[in-house]
Amino acid sequence: MSNSSTPRRAFLGGAIAAAGVAALPACARAAKDQMPSDAWMDEVPGEHRCLFDFNQHKNGATLLHILNYLNTYSTAYDKSSGEVGAAATLYGINPGSSIALGFDDEIWEKYELGAYHQLLDADGQAYTRNVFWQPESSDAHLLALGTGIEPIAPFLGAMPALGIQSLQGMGTKFIMCNNALNAWSFELASRGKGNQEGINAELRNHLLPGVSIVPAMVIAIELAQEAGIRYNKQ
């Protein structure tokens, strides 16, 4: 397959995402029930708030930036967790996209997300769990790959702290794009993973705790800035 397939796939994914709400009225109604307005912004605490926009997981390197942001405010500026907050975006459907970070281990195992996103453990086996939910020191090689920095040793202590559950406890809100979720259910169905509507419902039922769905990420980013949440593109 030629390299030209990648932009074509991205284009088709975008087209499907744009058509998702119109094509799936039932899914759209379900999504609306899960995301009353944009209340997620009220869950980003503090005077200092920043939205980290990343559509690629980069082997956890993007999560490291969030951890650095929160830790620096704490250690260098003596700000408590209630004074500083962050938000992080989850979207995209292609291999390497960040949307996979928002689902639990059952989805990762069933739909082989580790293999799809080329996330391998230290033994070279595809992860069957969401390695970014509660990462362990043994997963530190991912950060070395994501940052391009060797050796692994400096990242051993960072891995547990940069996990999604840990970052949530430090004041980070994770949001997922509804359009991307709809498009990804089509993507999984096209690869023979099941019925699209069934996949869509299953994905929504297996979000990680605390992850909220927003109607469209492009709008969520705009509204966040209007609400005074600063923007950081990763």
pLDDT in tens, 125-162: 999 999 999 999 888 888 877 676 665 666 667 778 88
Q: Which residues of 105-136 are buried (b: 16+ CB within 10 A; e: fewer)?
A: bebbebbebbebbebbbeeeeebbbbbbbebe
Whichever domain contains 136, its CATH number is 3.40.1260.10
- Whole-model pTM: value is 0.83
- Give residue 234's pLDDT: 81
Average pLDDT over residues 200-209: 96
Q: Which pLDDT belongs to residue 50? A: 97
Residue 209's pLDDT band (boundaries 50, 70, 90)?
very high
Q: How confident is the model at residue 6 (pLDDT cuts 50, 70, 90)?
A: very low
Q: Compute the average pLDDT of residues 211-218.
A: 94
Q: Which residues pair with 172 in a beta bridge?
A: 86
Q: What is the per-residue pLDDT for 137?
A: 85
* Mean pLDDT within 12-26: 42
Per-residue pLDDT at 150: 66
Cα 231 to Cα 30: distance, rounded to the nearest angstrom: 29
The domain total for the chain is 1
Give mean pLDDT, residues 178-184.
94
**pLDDT for the residue 26:** 40
Q: What would the pLDDT profile of 36-51 be if each residue is shown by its tens digit?
A: 357 899 999 999 999 9
What is the structure's pLDDT at 91? 96
Question: Is pLDDT above 60 for 31?
Answer: no
Instruction: Over range 117-121, report the average pLDDT.
Output: 92
**Residue range of the domain that includes 113:** 5-233
Mean pLDDT of the chain: 84
Counting Cα atoms < 13 Å in the Cβ hemisphere of 49 gives: 21
pLDDT at 87 over 70: yes
